[in-house]
Structure formats: C-alpha cells, structure tokens
Amino acid sequence: MKNSSFERMPRRRWLGAGAGALSALAWPQAPAQPAKAPEMHLRLAAAWPDKMPGLSDGIRRWAQRVNTLSGGKLHIDVRFSGESGIPPLQLLEAVASGQVDMAHGTSYYWATQSPGFPFFAAVPFGMNANEHTAWLRFGGGMALWTRLGRAHGVVPLACGNTGVQTAGWMREKITSLASLKGLRLRYPGLGGEVLRRLGAVTVNLPASEIVPALASGKIDGAEWVSPWCDMQLGLHEVCNYCYVPGIHEPGHTTELIINPKVWERLSPLHQEIMRAAAWQECVDMLAQFNHENARSLQTLRQFKSVEMLRLPNDADLNTLDLHGVARIELDFPKFTDGRAFSQAVLLRRRHGFQGDIRAIGDVRVDLLQQLSRCGFTSAVLPNTETVKTGEQLLGGFSGFYQGDALQAEPHFVHQPTHQPVIPVPNTAGARA
C-alpha cells in the first residue's frame, strides 16, 4: 500500500503526533479557578486573662492555625480579658450585637440567657472530655448547640477542652455536706446549681475577681479550672484547702461564638478551616492540660498546708515530722492486716494529730464504724462498695458507751445524764 497516507507520513512526525494525542488524554485541562477570597481581619475577645495557661494558649493556637490554613487570608486579632473592654460575662451580647466579631469563653457563662447553655460545657457526674466530644460530633450535640446559639444570635463551635476540673479551693476545711450550708462559693454552671441546692450561696465571677473576693472574705471558696490554672491565678495563696477531682466538671468544653453575619461572609472553605481548627484545638488543649496538671499538682503539694503523707503500716510514727501535714493516708494491704488501726489511735492520742486520717487499701464497708472509732476520718472504698451503704452503716448507732481514739475515757465521765442527781439534806432522819 504504497499510496496510503500512512506510508507517506515520516516516522518521526507520526510519533510526535501520537505523543501529543496521548498527552491530551492523560492531562485534561484544569477547570477555571474561582476568584481568590479577599483577606479578612476579625476581632476576637477572650473571656480569659492573658497568660492564663492552656486557655490563652489554646485560642492563640486556633488563631494561628486558621491564618496558616487560609494562606494568610484570615487574620484574627485576639484580645484578652481586660484588653477588649468587654466584661467576660457579657461576651454573648457583644458578639450577637456585632460589637465584636467572635469570642472565646464557656457556654455556662450564658446560663442566665438559657438554662440549656451549660449542657454544652459540663454536667456534674456527666460525660468526661472524650465522651462530651463524641456526643457533640456524632451524637447530635452540635446540632442542638447550633440551634440554641442561633436563637441567641451567635454561631457556636467547640474549641478546646480543659479536662477534669479541680473541685474547688476553700478557706476552711469541708468535713461534710452539712458544712457547705451558708458558704459563699464562686461556682458557675450546673455544678453551682448542685451546691446551691445543698445550701451554699453560689455566684459567678470572672477570673480577675476571684482572688480579691477570697482575700477580702467576700466569698469562702472558689472553683476555677485546674491545678495548672489555679496556681497561676494564685488560689493557693488565699486558700488552705484544695479538693480534687471536680465531679462538677468531668470534662469542660470551651466554646467559640461567631456573629452570624460574619460567619456568612466567610467562604465555605474558610468556614471549614475555622471549624476544623476548632476541633483540633479540642485535642490539643486537652493534651496540654493533662500534661501540665500532673506537674502543677506536685508543685502545689509543696506549699504550706497543702501537704499529704502516705505511710506503710510498719512506719515508725516517732520519727515523723507532722508539722504542716493536712492528711495522713494509712494502708491496709490486706483484710487480715490491721496494724493501721493502731497507727491511727497513736496518731490521735500520742501525737495529737488533728488532720484527716484516711484509710486506703483493702478497706471493707463493714469496717467503717471501727475505723471511725479508731480515729479515721475518711476511707477509700473499693468500686464494689457504695458511699450510700457506708453512710447507712455509720448512722446505725446514735452513740457508744465506751471511749474511743479521740476520747479514751468512758462516755458517762464526760456527759451528764439528762436528769442529774441533786443531793437533798435529810431533815426527817430517814435514811437517804
């Protein structure tokens, strides 16, 4: 086929044409690029003071991550409490009105606006940090939060988690639920509501007002965040007693609230960048708090009255320096080893120890009565035993005839009978 066009085409030219055809098939033309989003400068007010560990770190991280992921298009100007000119407890109204573009705080600050807001921060005896995040992301919690936030003029995002909180710092020792009655406590959220129903008077104060209120006696105790933040705030300098863990906040989710008009001006890409950066901060903040809280708690134990001893049951009590010790933990390594009973009696009678003596180890609920009479004031029960059962057992006897670790002599020596015997002169000569 000498006359065919195939034969008349030079070999090099044919190969070049084929290569071009293959190139066209393998590399289709890219679609037209959308117009570049303009740069945006947004104002953010934080509810926390500057240099507040974890919290200020977290919102700075979020702002920087948003800027990086947006290729420098989103600039977040972060102003902390005292810098923005907006009181922390008024940030919801400030964002909704457009006074500021967004804010970083906690949803239970807005409890006066709706009783539903605290559920998106923390619930007493409720979900821990991981469980709360799971509920928000995959359990429908975020949809409820968004609906509630929209009703109050803001777009909420979960943006951080501080983990389990400190139960609170007290000026005086708490020995029972009854001792909470009448105390003035800084306790926000649902945890504050629990204490209020137990008889305490609860208030909500921003961070900057807590220490002055404690120092002046305006309040008797306060909950802030965690050992790491509490030490930075200086709670250990005005209170002698710190209680952990915080059952009122097993995991505390912090929030970012955004003005809806600002949110709608963002491109879908920039909205997703903010949302993804906020979820990432939930992971980063929690990890940072878990790491730093352990170190801070060890540091706090070195201060004045914040001290604890843990003694084996063969320790020589005569060699101990108990100055400044607030609690002594005595060990029951097994049920048949009761040497800790003797240690507790000696600590009370011979050494005059007035602090908390706590039973740990193999402690059975039916030993609580005997523990109490030997000088113990608290006990750690195994998971198989309940506090309610222990309270019932302790309340089974109204009193005891015999003395105990705190009072060695018999009961009748110290307390008169309800009808004391009064001697009367014998004027009739009769035998008395």
Q: What CATH number is associated with residue 209? A: 3.40.190.10
Residues of the domain holding 275: 40-161+251-292
Q: Say what the pLDDT of residue 390 is.
A: 59
Do the domain assignments include residue 212? yes
Reported as type and span, the H/E element at residue 407 is none
Q: What is the pLDDT confidence band of residue 18, given thresholds at 50, 70 and 90?
A: very low
Do 267 and 220 share a structural domain?
no
Q: Which of 260, 292, 324 is the endpoint of a domain?
A: 292
Do 368 and 335 share a structural domain?
yes
Do the domain assignments include residue 422? no
Do 241 and 148 share a structural domain?
no
Do 375 and 258 share a structural domain?
no
Do 260 and 123 share a structural domain?
yes
Under 8 Å between Cβ of 167 and 159: no
- Residue 75 phi/psi, 5-degree rounding, is -110, 120
Do 134 and 256 share a structural domain?
yes
* CATH number where 348 lies: 3.40.50
Q: What is the pLDDT confidence band of residue 21, given thresholds at 50, 70 and 90?
A: very low
* CATH number where 104 lies: 3.40.190.170
What is the mean pLDDT of the segment spanning 187-204?
Answer: 94
Residues 283-338: tens digit of each pLDDT: 999 999 999 998 888 787 666 544 556 778 788 888 777 776 778 888 888 888 88
Structural domains counted in the chain:
3
Do 242 and 121 share a structural domain?
no
pLDDT, the chain, mean? 82
380 vs 17, which has greater pLDDT?
380
Contacts of 148 by beta carbon, 8 Å cutoff, 6+ apart = 114, 116, 117, 120, 156
Do the domain assignments include residue 431? no
What is the mean pLDDT of the segment spanning 261-273?
Answer: 97
Do the domain assignments include residue 256? yes
Do the domain assignments include residue 421? no
Q: Say what the pLDDT of residue 411 is.
A: 59
Do 318 and 273 share a structural domain?
no
Do 283 and 139 share a structural domain?
yes
Name the least confident of 3-12, 77-86, 105-114, 225-234: 3-12
Do the domain assignments include residue 265? yes
Contacts of 392 by beta carbon, 8 Å cutoff, 6+ apart = none
Residues 333-381: tens digit of each pLDDT: 888 888 989 999 889 888 888 888 888 888 887 788 788 888 888 888 7
Do the domain assignments include residue 52? yes
Do the domain assignments include residue 18? no
Do 150 and 49 share a structural domain?
yes
Reduced to 3 DSSP states, what percent helix, strand and coil does the chain have, rounded to the nearest 5? 40, 15, 45
Name the least confident of 14-28, 132-146, 235-249, 315-329: 14-28
Place of tokens 């639920």: 177
Do 381 and 323 share a structural domain?
yes
Q: Say what the pLDDT of residue 419 is.
A: 40
Do 284 and 152 share a structural domain?
yes
